[in-house]
Amino acid sequence: MQMPILMPQLGESIAEATIIRILVKPGDGVQAGQELLEVETNKAVTHVMASYPGYVKQLLVEVQHSYPVGAILGYLEVSDADASRLGLSTKPSSEPGEPHPSPSNLLEDASSPHPAGVSKVEPTVRGLPVPASAVGVSYMSPRMKARINELGLHAADLAGVAGSGAGGRLTIADFEQFLENLEKRKTHPASSMRIAVADAMRRSWTRPLATVSLPVILDALLAHRKTCEPKPGPTLYALRALAIALSENSAPAGRLVGNRIVHPDSIDIAFAVEAEDGVLVPVIRQADQKTLPQMAERYNELVELARKRQLPVDATGGSIATVTNFGTFGLTWATPIPLPEQTLVLGMGAGRTAPLWDSTSNQFIPVTEANLTLSFDHRVLDGGAAGRLLTRIARLMENPQQL
């Protein structure tokens, strides 16, 4: 009997994936769990695997084309004995080439060179906390909204367009002139990761965000690091300090839903890693229950996997806060933006030599100092609570033996 090869759900907010390599061909025998296709999402490179043992009957995909979650990518021929053993339905599946119900958000492009049965897939937004097509400005006519949605744009894309209508309102004529001018400019397509980052930041910015900052002295941390093997990076020290502080009081990492603050049920902390044309945020689970040495090897492993865009599913999503070391770019101060599903992001700037007054010797002494920043959802935290949390983090980092 024939069983379909389906595009799996590769993450809680992943709606589609792009085929980047086909690993089998029709007629090949495969085992359950064998990798069939290598696919890329806006978060990672991963694989579509065989759910059953059998033979590859047909593949309906093309390299560098995107397919939504649940799409039929091909068919496996499974023996009746295996089908019976696995409890599969003996009702024959539809033959390859027969039409299949397609999701309403899939559009067939008649001019596309795709083979029969393979549709061009438009980007989808299923699974996202907030629809990516939502507009965020007022004084926009229904006609304008329809036109923007038709073209897959957002209100934020028009931030630089001056309106000629009453009260500065953007008119259809203004919009069409804007599009005409774009055609005359040099452009290049944004990557799927860049689109995902842009959407996340747009949704984050719908909240009132604020930032507090505090200097932290790194000399003790740097000395402690020399005694460790493998050596944890400064980001991991900050992550562990944040985890301890939130384990003592999880309210600052809570999310406002209606009239309630929902506390996290696990201290899962993410950290930012620069990848090609974007940023990935692998997650250390239960960071409050692991010591610094216990996390160091896993941290280093996740950094390398993130740079290759090969993060495992269990290391993505579901985190309650993020740590980012913008000091790696030579920056001493910045205001990172929390992810839409998070309330907090802890930032760390570049270390530099600074004078510190020593009351014992009555003189200034040189120390290595860096700025910590804490950006937060101001609906959940006020400056005082954010300041106390950041102070606790700084004190822990200045006493690394407590980590």
pLDDT tens, per residue, the chain with 403 residues = 889 999 988 876 677 889 999 999 999 999 988 999 999 887 678 899 998 899 999 999 999 988 988 899 999 999 888 777 766 654 444 444 444 443 333 333 333 444 444 444 444 333 333 333 333 344 567 777 788 888 878 777 776 676 676 656 777 788 888 888 888 888 888 888 788 888 888 888 889 999 999 999 999 999 999 999 889 999 999 999 999 999 999 999 999 888 888 999 999 999 999 987 788 999 999 999 999 999 999 999 999 999 988 889 889 888 999 999 999 999 999 999 999 999 999 999 999 999 999 999 999 999 999 999 999 999 999 999 999 999 999 999 999 999 9
How crowded is residue 146: how many other Cβ atoms within 10 Å of its Cβ? 10
pLDDT of residue 109: 37
Calpha distance 364→146 (Å, rounded): 64
Assess if CATH 3.50.50.60 describes domain 1-127. Answer: no
Reference 280, options 243, 241, 335, 319; nearest CA is 319
pLDDT of residue 257: 87
Q: How far is CA 321 from CA 209, 239, 267, 282, in A?
A: 14, 9, 9, 11
Asked if residue 230 has a cis previous peptide bond (ω within 30° of 0), the answer is yes
pTM value? Answer: 0.64
Q: Quickly tell me which residue has 């069409």 as its tokens.
A: 176
Q: How far is CA 230 from CA 233, 238, 300, 301, in A?
A: 9, 16, 9, 12
Q: Is residue 236 a contact partner of residue 299, using CB atoms and an 8 Å limit?
A: yes
Q: CATH fold of 207-402, please? A: Chloramphenicol Acetyltransferase (3.30.559)
Structure tokens at 174: 């203004």
Helix (H, G, I), strand (E, B) or coil at 223: helix
Calpha distance 264→320 (Å, rounded): 7
Calpha distance 381→182 (Å, rounded): 42
Reference 380, options 199, 245, 258, 203; nearest CA is 258
Residue ranges, CATH 2.40.50.100, the chain: 1-127
Residue 69's Cβ-side half-sphere holds a number of Cα atoms within 13 Å equal to 13
pLDDT of residue 84: 76
Calpha distance 268→322 (Å, rounded): 9
Calpha distance 289→284 (Å, rounded): 11
Calpha distance 38→52 (Å, rounded): 18
Residue ranges, CATH 3.30.559.10, the chain: 207-402
Question: Is residue 10 packed enough to be buried (19+ CB in 10 Å), middle (13-18) or exposed (0-12)?
Answer: buried
How crowded is residue 348: how many other Cβ atoms within 10 Å of its Cβ? 27
In terms of C-beta distances under 8 Å and separation of at least 24 residues, what long-range contacts does 141-145 make, across chains too? 141/172, 143/172, 144/170, 144/171, 144/172, 144/175
Calpha distance 238→231 (Å, rounded): 14
